[in-house]
Amino acid sequence: MRLTGKVALITNCSHFMGPAITEEFAREGATLALHDREAKAAAPLVDLAERLGRTALALTGDLAESAEADRAVDAVVARFGRLDVLVNNNACPPAGSATENVTDAAWRELMARLLDEPFYCLRAALRVMRPARRGKIINMSSAAAFPGLARYAAYTAARAGVNGLTKAVGREVARDGIQVNAIAQNYVENPTYFPPELTADPKALERMVKNIPAGRIARSEESARLAVYLASEDADFFVGQVIPFAGGWVT
């Protein structure tokens, strides 16, 4: 098992890629700290990890507040004595809109959830990882940031910000034994953007598949297994990479 002995913090564990990454990390031997805004959302994933024989800690709070990111990391270290892996799993479904109609509130919400949260958590994790001279940070992002999506300017900007953050911080901390990388995905099964009710609709699926050179939607575990790889010692030479995972939609 590639993550045996590793302590991993997964944010927003009930959203986006959180359930799949929780399961794959548990199968690979990781000890897990699972953070969500509500305790009841994290509880089923704690149960899943424990059924797979792993120790799991539930944490709650709003990571768009920088103090909460600090508290979350401190709680992991207090419980387990270390933090080896941070998975910034951030999601905020946008509503398509002409750019001039984007409200201040919609802009702020997307930036808070998709850019502030991962930055605050990354910063808090580095305060632990730099002295230890080891660590992996994986930012779950979106391939939408590569071409830019018309009518989704705020969402595209937030995801592009995380991708840029990944590149900059990845280069900054590589000599400290810390690897920062991102998975920029699209067309992957997950409860936030591509839920079962969408992918089970034949007409919706047909429309989507037309855009995907691979000819299908990815299974959630496929992206989660890439996250396992990036969290493992096998990926020590990956530095500041934003990896497209979109079936050829972007390359």
What CATH class has 7-245? alpha beta
Stretch 160-176: mean pLDDT, rounded? 98
The secondary structure of 182-232 as a DSSP string is: EEEE-SB-BTTTB-HHHHT-HHHHHHHHTT-TTSSPBPHHHHHHHHHHHHS
C-alpha separations of 125 from 143, 164, 209, 239 in Å = 25, 18, 38, 17
Distance of CA 25 to the CA centre of its chain: 13
Dump pLDDT digits (tens) for 83-92.
999 999 999 9
* pTM score, whole prediction: 0.97
For residue 251, pLDDT over 90 is answered with no
Distance of CA 133 to the CA centre of its chain: 22
Dump pLDDT digits (tens) for 45-66.
999 999 999 999 999 999 999 9
Please report, rounded to a whole number, the percentage of residues in the chain having pLDDT higher than 90: 98
Q: What is the mean pLDDT of the chain?
A: 97
Handedness of CA 64, 69, 75, 80 (dihedral sign): positive
Please report, rounded to a whole number, the percentage of residues in the chain having pLDDT higher than 70: 100
H or E element at residue 138: strand 135-142
Handedness of CA 7, 12, 13, 18 (dihedral sign): negative
For residue 95, pLDDT over 90 is answered with no
**Residues forming the active site:** 155
